[in-house]
Structure 1
């Protein structure tokens, strides 16, 4: 057999074994072992024709409504599965049994509501993204004990409360995003199991209060987002353990005062790392601590010109930074 015939035989053999095949309407990148099906009129999962050596699969902006364990068995080496903006409504409890290497699962922008027990228990997931679905309850039964997940995104759902049992199964979690839900409160010890947590996003919820001990075990926290809630008061020692915090957003709440010493533990804040804007600050004698802290830490402030007095009337609209001691009656 000459070299040309040998080469032709090799390519034919590869095609017959599926390594060079590719589903209709999708693009396959053999060097990266990646398949992308993007903005195409797919109505069924394209398992037929998927190269068995695929490690990364993206299916986005299609009309697919269903995905099963059998579908995923077509790609047993899969490590990353991205199913953005399709029409998935249900998942099987055994969905991931055929992908024992899967570490990233992104289901952003589907129509998922109630998920079955053990749905994420059959693969060593590190990243789980359920953003922008219709989920009302985050259930501990989704996960195995001692889950390997380090990144969990449940933002943009319909969560009103959180069950502490879920966090007990997430001892390795580093990033938790619960933003853009309808959370009205988080119980005092809910975050205690999350000792490795570095990033917590609670913005765009309906939080009125935070328990004083909520962050006592999250000493590795470096980013904390509390913007656009309904917070009217902050417990005096809430940030006491957060010596590594670099970014803190408290903008767009209902804060008129903060307690003395609240910000003192935050020695690691980045320049422009603190956002206190768009709150109804009451610029009276109780502003003493915050005003003096702001004067000493000007570089730490993001948009300081929007830290503005809502009252009294004589100071309404003034930047807190621009006030003098006499205007605040702080001479003593």
Structure 2
């Protein structure tokens, strides 16, 4: 039977999934979207309920559900990360001592760092340049760091990037461009990133995606496009992403999706489509997603839903709250058949028909609807 789940925090399902692998480092003051920030390279997992800085509710929720912890510990030796964050940047290594921390002048607040800013750091593995008012980057700035694995450019002023910026960083695994002013993604950026696993371009001003822009990213596992201005996706937008496990399209104003939107990404496990303007989902759009564990459709304009039969395995965590559902026989039968866990049941209400208006979808589905019984199954009155 369907078991609706009333959660104390609305975003528990979304938050749990975003805390799954790869393990991210949370930004200050942003617990709801903590798992979207760039992770550090792991040495060993932290305990279920504690990360490297202590415990918090988000980490505890992930641990209780068996998800991997949000943070991991960076190995020592020659892998010290370089961090320049906000008004108090940490120092970079000196040229003469590249495994220790030194000073790099003229980066914070400069807007345009010099092309030689990273000279003398050939073994650099992590570079964190968040909140530094960077408005542009020289095309050659990353050439001195060919072993770079992590690049975090969160919350800068970048409206574009040079076409060849990543030409010499083919070992890059985690790239975070969140919170900039990017208007377009250029295919040239990704041609030299076959090992990239984590790409975060959330909270920019992207209005469209070039077709097959992610085609070279055959190792990508997490793609965050949330809080942009994408009104639609072009056919083949996810082409090449066969390893993709997590896709976040929250808060884009999406009004429609191509029928085969997710077919190029059959490994998807976490799919976030909440806070868009979807009215109708194409028939069979979720059929290729046999490994889907979390589907968030909250706060769209959906009235009907179609889900394919699920293979044996974990039940589907499904959030359909905040939609004007038509609680007719097809929807009720689907929920009984699939038996997902419904989050935020109090906001998952029937808009129609009048006899169910304002009732919780889960409660109506559990109770059944006598009007939905097949005619052949109805009990005939006894013969006189």
TM-score by length of 1: 0.79
Partner of 2:8: none
* 1:21-45 C-alpha deviation (Å, 9 max, x unpaired): xxxxxxxxx9673555555456xx9
Partner of 1:246: 293
Partner of 1:236: 283
| CA-atom RMSD in angstroms | 3.0
CA contact (8 A) 2:224 2:247 kept: yes
* 1:211-254 C-alpha deviation (Å, 9 max, x unpaired): 11111121111111111111111112111111111111111110
CA contact (8 A) 1:241 1:265 kept: no
Distance 1:58 1:154 in 2: 27
Partner of 1:281: 325
User: 2:265 aligned with 1:218, yes or no?
Assistant: yes
Partner of 2:350: 309
CA contact (8 A) 1:224 1:249 kept: yes
Equivalent residues in 2 for 1:105-116, closer than 5 Å: 105-116=151-162
- The match for 1:71 among 107, 117, 138 is 117
Partner of 1:331: 373
* 1:271-300 C-alpha deviation (Å, 9 max, x unpaired): 6x11111101122xxx22221232345452
Unaligned runs of 5+ in 1: 1-29
* SS at structure 1 position matched to 2:332: helix
Distance 1:55 1:289 in 2: 63
User: 2:135 aligned with 1:89, yes or no?
Assistant: yes
* 1:111-156 C-alpha deviation (Å, 9 max, x unpaired): 0001111111211211111001000000012233463211111100
Mean Cα deviation higher: 64-73 or 76-85: 64-73
* SS at structure 2 position matched to 1:186: coil
User: 2:336 aligned with 1:295, yes or no?
Assistant: yes
- The match for 1:127 among 158, 174, 179 is 174
Equivalent residues in 2 for 1:1-332, closer than 5 Å: 33-40=80-87, 49=94, 51-54=97-100, 63-123=109-169, 124-145=171-192, 147-259=194-306, 262-265=307-310, 268-270=313-315, 273-283=317-327, 287-298=328-339, 300-323=341-364, 324-326=367-369, 329-332=371-374
- Give the length in aligned residue pairs: 294
- Cα 1:36–1:192 change in 2 (3 A) is closer
Unaligned runs of 5+ in 2: 1-75, 375-384
Shift of 1:264: 2.1
* 1:146-193 C-alpha deviation (Å, 9 max, x unpaired): 632111111000001001242122122111110010001111222121
* SS at structure 1 position matched to 2:330: helix
* SS at structure 1 position matched to 2:262: coil
* 1:244-269 C-alpha deviation (Å, 9 max, x unpaired): 1111111111001124xx24247545
* SS at structure 2 position matched to 1:141: helix
* SS at structure 2 position matched to 1:95: coil
- Cα 1:55–1:263 change in 2 (3 A) is farther
* 1:34-86 C-alpha deviation (Å, 9 max, x unpaired): 555555456xx966847412599999x95342323311113221100011111
